[in-house]
Amino acid sequence: MNELDRLPIPLLEWYRDNARALPWRPAPGSRTLGDPYRVWVSEIMLQQTRVAAVLDYYQRFMAALPTVEALAAVEEDRLMKLWQGLGYYNRARNLRKAAQQITGECGGRFPDTYEGLLALAGVGEYTAGAIASIAFGAPVPAVDGNVLRVVSRITGDEGDIARPETKKRMGSALQAVMPRQDPGDFNQAMMELGAMVCLPNGAPRCEACPAGGFCRARREERTGQLPVKTAQKARRTERRTVYLIFHGDTVALRRRPGRGLLAGLWEYPNQAGGGLEPLTQWGIVPRSVEPVGVGKHVFSHIEWHMGALAVEAAEVSLPEDWVWADQAGLRSTYAVPSAFQSFAKTVEQRLQGE
DNA sequence: AACACGGGGTT
DNA sequence: AACCCAGTGTT
């Protein structure tokens, strides 16, 4: 028998005493199920995103779109504005797509099985397991990055956690020890343990761990070597010029393409490289051009180094899919990604001062 | 299996 | 600067 057999009882006890109160989380130990819609929205927001980053977005999102029906009917631009700054914007589009699946092909009934949930857009193996267990009490594991790290260390498993085969093996091992009474608490406890105690980067708080007495990595002093994970690819760097084009008390925004990076969001016109040629190409006649600072933004796979030019436009006409945005529009209508946040102050001052 | 896809916190 | 986060979809 392996170390995981000894885990459920001390883990659940630890969770009852140490779980954070979260807006989508049923009271730990209460054996009450989570609300499916609330749990679902939270799980999508939490994909590759920390709890602290999600909290405010979650509250605003639930206030604006309190039901599956409201989500299914929301305008895409409003949806993007609610998601602005959270990243991985396809999550939001898939969320709406799935809401339409539920109100449509599911006849308005929220899927209540692992397989049914897995069929929803944006719901993969992890999320299906999380919702099935937390909202419906199904005894299926939810294997995320936290859980992979915890299982790797407790069992001393040296399998590469980036490999599907490893995820499958650890999922099966968890399935076998999962308590039938409260699978939702068990899954959340595993993740909570990974987030609060069994920390990455070789700095786990083993003295506070309910598995400390039987954890293999701790006993063998291998917490610094586990989990095993293939290193991620290096980023490429792009140098771009961002054009802050002003006209009166407005600034030019253009919509990004519908696919790819930051799809469908709004941005200040920008171009790899730079110079003044792009302005001509866009049909912008500049009254004045002035460098107004630099910005850097790091994506997971790209690094943008940006230099900004403030342009006073003499012409009012703009290319297709561009708009003149005023302060109110920037604040409440157009979803502009964080990559351009470093220019917000400059833009605001210009629109203010004019 | 490899890659695209954001943004930010921690070490 | 590296790591990684309550991962999923596409190629």
Q: What tokens were used for A114?
A: 């692992």
Total-model pTM? 0.97
Determine the pLDDT at residue A317: 87
Residue A153: per-residue pLDDT: 97
Distance CA A114, CA A117 (A): 5
Using the CB atom, is residue A260 less than 7 Å from strand B? yes
Q: Which residues from 158-177 of A have any strand C atom under 7 Å from their CB?
A: none
Query: For strand A236-247 and strand A302-313, is the pairing parallel, antiparallel, or unpaired?
Result: parallel
Find the catalytic residue in A3, A13, A43, A125.
A43
Q: Is the CB of A57 under 7 A from strand B?
A: no
Is A43 catalytic? The answer is: yes
pLDDT digits (tens), chain A, 354 positions: 589 999 999 999 999 999 999 999 988 888 899 999 999 999 999 999 999 999 999 999 999 999 999 999 999 999 999 999 999 999 999 999 999 999 999 999 999 999 999 999 999 999 999 999 999 999 999 999 999 999 999 999 999 999 999 999 999 999 999 999 999 999 999 999 999 999 998 789 999 999 999 999 999 999 999 999 998 889 999 999 999 999 999 999 999 999 999 999 999 999 998 889 999 999 999 999 999 999 999 999 999 999 999 999 997 789 988 999 999 999 999 999 999 999 999 999 999 875
Distance (Å, whole) CA A159 – CA A191: 19
Q: Name residue A244's beta-bridge partners.
A: A310
A133 phi/psi in degrees, rounded to 5: -80, -45
Distances (CA, A) of A86 to A20, A151, A159, A263, A286: 22, 29, 31, 14, 34
Closest residue to B8 (CA to C1') is A53
Nucleotides of B under 7 A from a protein CB: 1-11
Q: How far is CA A286 from CA A282, A291, A307, in A?
A: 11, 13, 18
Buried b vs exposed e over A230-260: b needs ≥16 C-beta within 10 Å? eeeeeeeeeebbbbbbbbeebbbbbbeeeee
What pLDDT was estimated at residue A316? 77
Look at residue A354 in the predicted model and tell me its pLDDT: 54
pLDDT score, position A1: 53
- Confidence (pLDDT) at A21: 95
For residue A215, give Cα distances in angstroms to A6, A202, A209, A226, A239. 10, 15, 9, 12, 47
Name residues 273-312 of chain A with a Cβ under 7 Å from nucleic strand C.
300
**Residue A146 CA: distances (Å) to CA of A65, A152, A187:** 29, 10, 10
What DSSP state is assigned to residue A21?
Answer: P
**Which nucleotides in chain C have some atom under 7 angstroms from a protein Cβ?**
3-9
